[in-house]
Structure 1
Amino acid sequence: MTFTIIVGDGTEYGVLESFVEQDHPANVKLMKRLPKEDYDTMVGACDIGLIFLDHRFTIPNFPSRLLAYMQAKLPVLAATDPNTDIGKVIVDGGFGWWCESNSEEDFKELIKEAINADTRSMGEIGYKYLQNNYTVECGYEIIQKRLK
């Protein structure tokens, strides 16, 4: 049996809270927030990181939890709006899956793929991607190139 931990108090928290209170699923834990140290410990015990953004968002959004997942060597399953490039980063980087968050059928297919994937090696790929693209040194190089 899978166990899902949901941490955050985003726009749909109330919907999730109602579901958990009414249905009492044995395999779901919902929390508004955690201290960073506890969050990092929890992420380290997970198999896949999840990122959900409302499909109606019009301004690109790049959730920082992606970096926490990559640091913990987790592959990432994301369902987001089409305006953010996080899905492209995840898929092109080879460390996860993406679909638009208004496509329930696509999301179901991605879950099937994730269940059958070699998540350990995908997590390693994500960690290497993090080291090659999101370090302080990488940021410095990008800024220096832009300034020249």
Structure 2
Amino acid sequence: MPPEDTSFIAHPPIHLIALDDIQAGETRGIEIDIEIDIEIDIEDNGDKKRLDLIIWHQGDAIRVFKNACPHVGLPLETFPNKFLTADKKHLICSAHAATFDPDGLCIAGPCPGERLTEYKTTRLDGWLMLG
């Protein structure tokens, strides 16, 4: 089953990371405050909504997932930007060792078959953009 389509158009576009700031095989965790008029699964902090993301550069692909394990909703990392297994082939939740393949599918741990929420992105002028 394909991941849930969580794409949306943000105006103005939301810059996530400069493409030069993340190399193949690396992950980055970022939190952004956004103001949008449609519902997506994000934390509401009053006037602004917070989106906690994992950016994973995999070869030519860069995937962006919500930083929340489907098992209990906790962020995956204990230490900043530490999302990958030792062999750097999978994302892993530090709380319960749920392990996710490059498509965000849980392949081991307490939530097999569940998926991380993925967000669509575009590349523009050297930036990875949300939406």
Q: Do both proteins adopt the same fold according to a TM-score greater than 0.5, normalized to the shorter chain?
A: no
More strand by share: 2
More helix by share: 1
What TM-score does the superposition give when structure 2 sets the normalisation length? 0.29
Q: Which has the larger radius of gyration?
A: 1
> Which gives a bigger RCO, structure 1 or 2 (Cα 8 Å, sep 6+)?
2
